[in-house]
Amino acid sequence: MSENKIPYKIYLSEDEMPMAWYNLRADMQNKPAPLLNPGTGQPMTAQELEGVFCTELVRQELDNDTAYFQIPAEIRDFYKMYRPSPLVRAYCLEQKLGTPAKIYYKFEGNNTSGSHKLNSAIAQAYYAKLQGLQGVTTETGAGQWGTALSMACGYLGLDCRVFMVKCSYEQKPFRREVMRVYGSSVTPSPSESTQVGRKILSQFPGTTGSLGCAISEAVETAVANPGYRYVLGSVLNQVLLHQSIIGLEAKTALDKYGVKPDIIIGCAGGGSNLGGLIAPFMGQKLRGEADYRIIAVEPESCPSFTRGKYAYDFCDTGMVCPLAKMYTLGSSFMPAADHAGGLRFHGMSSVLSQLYADGYMEARAVKQTDVFEAAEEFARVEGILPAPESSHAIRAAIDEAVKCREAGEAKTILFGLTGTGYFDLVAYERFHNGEMKNFSPSDEDIAKSLAQLPAVPNALA
């Protein structure tokens, strides 16, 4: 098919939706480092992990060799509510920029949870249900993951207990209400319902909570209740596996029109979207079948790739979870309060960290106001109000397209538009009113939190 015939939106048919998730680890020569037990310093065993996570999900987490995992029919049926998601040719943005570049974006915001998080939420909820569990627990900060998990559990009739960081619970009542529409119980964290919550409340009576504390409460609740397990929306290998559907669909759609991207761009917080989008392309690159420039875009205020250290660290600020080897700013690192949206995790997926360490991808950090400027420019011509997270990728895509204009090069750019910004309008308002600031942590601040990295056996570090 000629390139002239490419529509604004490429919708695959349901039959073209991938039958299996792709496990990028299978094609990695240097496998991601294993999770370590913080007590023993030894790799976490399946048995240890199964106290917290569902059995099948533990299998997926630990399997570095199987390239494809069949997507169960029930999950495929759920996916059909909103998948295949559209791959959009950004004709209007290209025209606005006056660039010869061809820009495509894979839009994952076309479901009520408003983001790609639903791809893994339904998978994790499904395996919990299959195992005969009664429910799952999780934490949520900004609320994207909690909403996605609520939708998945509402659909399957699974109990869902969300610990929502208290300040977010109070400031984002709408996020909370969407979760309640789907039948979840939403508890502001720290709460009186867990030991760790009561302890923190007694130590810091006026605290508005933190993600680290909410994780601890969710894990404690899962472990304390026999029919429950804990689930997580990013960072983990299993999450990247489920999210591979983003990249698989994008690649199928591009292949259909004979298009090969030169540059692939994704925003990066814990890595769920970026890892999913790039999966099949990175697979080709690892196997030497094709080459792509792959760019991770992170906030200047939380620059784990660009200014972090590749080392073993805790996944949570509460230091109760296993250790993961990753690019990290230190588990006590807190992004500036003025930072809007997600992408505020101190570390990064172990898979992506290893690939970055091995030189398979680039990373860049961008300023918050530059991100919102790109978001608004995009919204006006492409008609989608992007989430602040997604807008990091938009920023980099626009920058690359402008470079193409200056160099007169017609490169093909693919980026991930992970979600919508309906619940982020307070941040947009601050941007409009000129109240939004940029923040770059000082070298001293980063050094201070990195000084607290845990000690691990030399052989593993």
* Least CB distance to a second copy at residue 236 (A): 24
- Which residue, 199 or 380, has its beta carbon nearer to a second copy? 380
CB nearer a second copy, residue 69 or residue 155: 155
Do residues 276 and 343 make contact, with C-beta atoms less than 8 angstroms apart? no
Write down the least CB distance from residue 188 to a second copy, Å.
15
Residue 53 Cβ, how far from a second copy at the closest point, in Å?
25
CB of 58 to a second copy, least distance (A): 27
Specify whether the CB–CB gap between 312 and 280 falls below 8 A. Answer: no
Minimum gap (Å) between residue 399 Cβ and a second copy: 21
Q: How far is the CB of 395 from a second copy (least distance, A)?
A: 16
Q: Write out the residues near a second copy by the rule CB under 8 A.
A: 7-9, 11, 13-14, 77-78, 80-82, 92, 110-112, 151, 154-155, 173-174, 177-178, 180-183, 376, 379-385, 420, 422-423, 425-426, 428-429, 432
Minimal distance, residue 309 CB to a second copy, in Å: 38
Residue 102 or residue 325: which is nearer to a second copy going by CB? Answer: 102
Q: Which is nearer to a second copy, 89 or 344 (CB)?
A: 89
CB of 115 or CB of 350, closer to a second copy: 115
Q: Which is nearer to a second copy, 176 or 364 (CB)?
A: 176
Do 153 and 146 form a contact (C-beta atoms < 8 A)?
no
Q: How far is the CB of 73 from a second copy (least distance, A)?
A: 13
What Cα–Cα distance (Å) separates residue 245 from each residue in 4, 24, 351?
27, 12, 16
Q: Of the candidates 283, 264, 259, 284, which has an alpha carbon nearest to the alpha carbon of residue 274?
A: 264
210 phi and psi, to 5 degrees? -150, 165
- Our CB check for a second copy shows the closer of 376 and 399 to be 376
Comparing CA positions, the residue from 420, 422, 404, 424 lying closest to residue 412 is: 404
Report the residue number, 41 or 183, with the smaller CB distance to a second copy.
183
Give dist(CA 376, CA 374) in Å, integer.
5
